[in-house]
């Protein structure tokens, strides 16, 4: 009962004009730490760190939740995500999804690599979930223009189940030859 009353009051406050900037300040403080790795301009400081600017809200939220739960293992992200409650994670996900996806300047894949990647794409049907042009939707991530090195690493992690938060993606990656995954990473990075 007390919890319910509290949510009603919070909702009321959030709906009041004037409450929005305070909420925004709060989030701006919480995301300051992220820039140290994911980049102050959205370009990650290292190629094995993913782009999160412009990524889908639902997807970013699920990852933060899974890092906190330990379903997705990362010595770096787990302690960071553990500091957040569900509402923080939703607000942070919303914050990053509204940023513009950065151009990492990765080259388009050469013709032979593109062909190998699109053949693999057609046989698995990646775009059935990741959508045309790999723009993603809801809890399925955007892959277009993601860092090539990160894509390779995370697909390999799905394959070994080191990334175990989505068994369906692991099964798909295990069923796809490694050389196709290498081609897909290069192709997706260049989109």
Figure out which of the listed residues 129, 131, 156, 191 binds ligand HEC, where binding follows CB under 6 A: 129
34 binds ligand HEC (CB under 6 A): yes
The 10 Å Cβ neighbour count of residue 49 is 17
Do residues 151 and 141 lie in contact, with contact meaning Cβ atoms separated by under 8 Å?
A: no
No. of helices (H) and no. of strands (E), the chain: 10, 0
Interface region with ligand HEC, contact rule CB under 6 A, candidates 6-14, 21-29, 108-116, 163-171:
163-171
> x/- binding map, residues 92-121, to ligand HEC, per CB under 6 A?
x---------------------------xx
Instruction: Write the CB contacts of 44 (distance below 8 Å, at least 6 apart in sequence).
Output: 37, 38, 50, 51, 147, 150
Residues belonging to the chain: 191
Residues forming the site for ligand HEC (CB under 6 A): 31, 33-34, 36-38, 49-50, 52, 60, 62-64, 74, 76-77, 80, 92, 120-121, 124-126, 128-130, 139-141, 143, 146, 151, 154-155, 165-166, 168-169, 172, 176, 184
């Amino acid at each position: 009962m007390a919890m319910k009353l509290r949510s009603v009051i919070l909702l009321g406050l959030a709906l009041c004009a004037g409450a929005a900037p305070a909420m925004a300040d709060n989030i701006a403080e919480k995301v300051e730490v992220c820039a140290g790795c994911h980049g102050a301009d959205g370009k990650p400081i290292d190629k094995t760190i993913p782009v999160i600017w412009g990524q889908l809200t639902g997807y970013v939220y699920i990852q933060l939740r899974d890092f906190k739960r330990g379903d997705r293992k990362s010595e770096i992200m787990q302690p960071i995500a553990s500091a957040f409650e569900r509402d923080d994670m939703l607000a942070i996900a919303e914050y990053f999804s509204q940023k513009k996806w950065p151009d990492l300047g990765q080259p388009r894949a050469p013709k032979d690599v593109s062909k190998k990647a699109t053949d693999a794409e057609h046989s698995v049907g990646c775009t059935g979930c990741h959508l045309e042009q790999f723009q993603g939707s809801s809890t399925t991530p955007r892959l277009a223009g993601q860092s090539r090195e990160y894509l390779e690493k995370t697909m390999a992690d799905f394959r070994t189940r080191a990334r175990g938060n989505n068994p369906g993606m692991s099964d798909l990656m295990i069923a796809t030859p490694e050389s196709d995954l290498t081609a897909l990473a290069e192709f997706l990075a260049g989109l």
